[in-house]
Amino acid sequence: MSYRPRIADLELAYGNKEDGLYEFKMNLVDGTKCRVFYTRSPEWKMTNISRLQKTPCPVCRKDFICKCMDQWASDLHQQMIDDQWMEKAVTE
């Protein structure tokens, strides 16, 4: 498996501090855009990730919905934690 997504940018789409529910728009280095959902209580936990259908999938090349990003959910989550993407997006 040669493809490995890397996060280029993260943008807060929705955040509710009281409920601990967050939605982010994630841009990957290769131009792929994803929507990710998180809960925070207080640990960050990814609940869902899906590719936005603006660009073809880098894995299967489909330009409609697919589940390819699911296999990198834990990898991407680790990048989110290591590089503190959520903290940066939430405080912006």
User: Does 59 sit near Zn ion (CB under 5 A)?
Assistant: yes
The answer to whether 50 touches 25, Cβ cutoff 8 Å, is no
Give the residue with the Cβ less far from Zn ion, 68 or 90: 68
Q: Is 28 in the site for Zn ion (CB under 5 A)?
A: no
User: For Zn ion, which stretch binds (CB under 5 A), given 22-30, 34-42, 54-62, 70-78?
Assistant: 54-62
Nearer to Zn ion, 39 or 60 (CB): 60
Ramachandran bin of 85, using left for φ above 0, alpha for ψ from -120 to 50, beta for the remaining angles: alpha
DSSP E strands in the chain: the ranges are 7-16, 21-28, 33-40, 44-51
Kindly tell me which of 15 and 58 has the beta carbon lying closer to Zn ion.
58
